[in-house]
């Protein structure tokens, strides 16, 4: 039995997986985001820990014998978050998250100091990454900055609580901007440019390597075996790839969770910072990936449901599908509620409904939201094409992939077939469990990281795809027309 835990943005999720990869139990606990100022997004690391304890307790109740027989534990999590510890290992302030946009000025300063940054770290400086956050901290909270002894990523804080070890894996370290992606090692030059040294960084391991073992006190409290091996694990994007077997050159998938990613595995480090495509280390040795990162995924649908006073998102989707005419919605929706990364690098961008009329229905507005997110993925696909990466077909994971209707719209916007896998909605946690297995048994990753059973293949609707082309062009023009209006400072 193997445990996989995903420290997400909206929830902590955990899965208990058998040796034959059967899903024996799963649990999740919701999380909240604090936004104390415009552009800010923070969470208390203690909330991640309490949610982890909660979901593990639920797994223990659901499958007590299997839980007690667990052989390895793997971690996945939201990337880029800055968890700041003092010399005693205590948290200094709330973690600054991946979708926090406060450090835009610091990104410009970092780019001036290191003009080749994007070709070393795999992506230009953007506010969501960890390094600019520390520059912001040095300027705006200097006393806190002086007390920082260690910087961890979200999943690695949970590892620290479990094992007492400060460790991260290559794929999560890749999202800090401090990693030399080609060398798979910390960059002393980039660290120095942010006033830091290797002493502030966790130890680096591959995602398939052992990264510590469960402390005895934790094992007793959680009901797990003492000394349980804990794998290096992965950032959520790479863990999603491990979970669906996207480990070979050209394997592609899109992840539709709180945020969105369009991910393609590569056999070498291939940076293309000009289009804000991320080129990062994968969770397997000798593998990298290119990724377009979207800050607004299924969270845009959650927002729409809230403002439309729809308590049941499933029912809202069902009524939208029932009213679907086979044509694009009349309104256009820009889904940039929390800014955007690929391809705009614009923390000031915001959501927009355009083209409303007195007879526009609730269902048309929801359809416009679904299409706006799909068009964002289509624009991400164009960026990857500029980087020389062309995916003929893509898989889909994440909570948004549960909606077959949304996937039909997505396939038509991308003009690509979309593969849905069994258990795809729990992809990162399942990927973490696979990494736990590899780290524990030493098995060949190729033998473990197989594609799950195909649940469904959704083909593009040719007529809808043709109708989407002019709507997609309007979508892109709308952002360009409004770009200067988003920034108010």
Catalytically active residues are: 236
In angstroms, how far is the first alpha carbon of the chain from the final one? 53
Nearest C-alpha neighbor of 256 from the set 295, 219, 288, 284:
295
Q: By CB neighbour count within 10 A (0-12 exposed, 13-18 middle, 19+ buried), where does 264 fall?
A: buried
What would you report as the CA-atom Rg of the chain, rounded to the nearest whole angstrom? 21
Sign (positive/negative) of CA torsion 401, 403, 407, 409? Answer: negative
The helix, strand and coil proportions of the chain, stated in percent and rounded to the nearest 5, come to 40, 20, 35
Residue 249: phi and psi, rounded to 5, are -50, 125
Within a 13 Å sphere around the CA of 182, how many CA atoms are in the beta-carbon half?
Answer: 7
- Report cis status (omega within 30 of 0) of the bond before 328: no
Q: Which residues contact 219 (CB under 8 A, 6 or more apart)?
A: 225, 226, 227, 228
State CA 107 to chain mean position distance.
21
Cα 282 to Cα 266: distance, rounded to the nearest angstrom: 9
Q: Distance between CA atoms of 350 and 398, rounded to whole angstroms? A: 23
Question: Is 297 in contact with 338 (CB distance < 8 Å)?
Answer: no
**Cα–Cα separations (whole angstroms), residue 406 to 317, 386, 389, 401, 418:** 9, 26, 24, 7, 11
DSSP letter at 260 equals E
CB 59 within 8 A of CB 14: yes
């Amino acid at each position: 039995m193997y445990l996989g835990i995903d420290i997400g943005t909206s929830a902590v999720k955990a899965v208990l997986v058998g040796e034959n990869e059967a899903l024996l139990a799963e649990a999740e606990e919701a999380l909240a985001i604090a936004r104390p100022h415009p552009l800010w997004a923070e969470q208390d690391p203690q909330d991640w820990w309490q949610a982890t304890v909660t979901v593990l307790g639920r797994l223990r109740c659901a499958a007590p014998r299997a839980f007690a027989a667990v052989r390895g534990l793997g971690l996945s999590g939201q990337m880029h978050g800055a968890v700041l510890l003092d010399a005693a290992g205590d948290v200094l302030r709330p973690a600054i998250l991946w979708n926090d946009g406060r450090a835009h000025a610091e990104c410009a300063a970092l780019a001036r100091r290191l003009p080749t940054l994007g070709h070393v770290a795999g992506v230009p400086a953007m506010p969501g990454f960890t390094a600019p956050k520390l520059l912001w901290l040095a300027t705006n909270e200097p006393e806190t900055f002086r007390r920082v002894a260690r910087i961890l990523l979200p999943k690695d804080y949970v590892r620290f609580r479990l094992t007492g070890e400060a460790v991260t894996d290559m794929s999560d370290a890749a999202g800090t901007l401090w990693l030399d992606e080609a060398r798979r090692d910390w960059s002393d030059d980039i660290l120095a440019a942010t006033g830091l040294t290797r002493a502030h960084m966790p130890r680096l391991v591959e995602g398939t390597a052992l990264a510590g073992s469960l402390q005895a006190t934790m094992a007793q409290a959680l009901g797990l075996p003492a000394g349980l091996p804990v794998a290096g694990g992965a950032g959520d994007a790479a863990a999603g790839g491990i979970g669906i077997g996207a480990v070979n050159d050209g394997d592609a998938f899109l992840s539709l969770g709180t945020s969105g990613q369009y991910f393609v595995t590569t056999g070498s480090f291939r940076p293309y910072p000009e289009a804000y495509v991320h080129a990062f280390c994968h969770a397997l040795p000798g593998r990298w990936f290119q990724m377009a990162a979207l800050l607004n995924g299924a969270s845009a649908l959650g927002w729409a449901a809230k403002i439309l006073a729809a308590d049941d998102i499933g029912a809202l989707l069902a009524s939208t599908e029932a009213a679907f005419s086979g044509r694009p919605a009349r309104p256009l929706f820009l889904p940039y509620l929390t800014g955007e990364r690929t391809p705009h690098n614009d923390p000031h961008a915001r959501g927009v409904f355009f083209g409303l009329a007195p007879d526009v229905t609730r269902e048309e507005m929801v359809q416009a939201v679904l299409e706006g997110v799909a068009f964002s993925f289509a624009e991400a696909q164009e960026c990857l094409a500029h980087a020389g990466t062309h995916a003929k077909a893509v898989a889909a994971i994440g909570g948004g992939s549960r909606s077959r209707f949304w996937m039909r719209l997505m396939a038509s916007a991308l003009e690509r077939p979309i593969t849905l896998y069994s258990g795809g909605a729990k992809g990162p946690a399942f990927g973490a469990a696979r990494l736990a297995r590899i780290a524990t048994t030493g098995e060949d990753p190729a033998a473990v990281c197989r594609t799950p059973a195909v649940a469904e293949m959704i083909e593009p609707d040719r007529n809808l795809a043709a109708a989407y082309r002019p709507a997609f062009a309007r979508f892109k023009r709308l952002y360009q027309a409004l770009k200067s209006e988003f920034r108010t400072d």
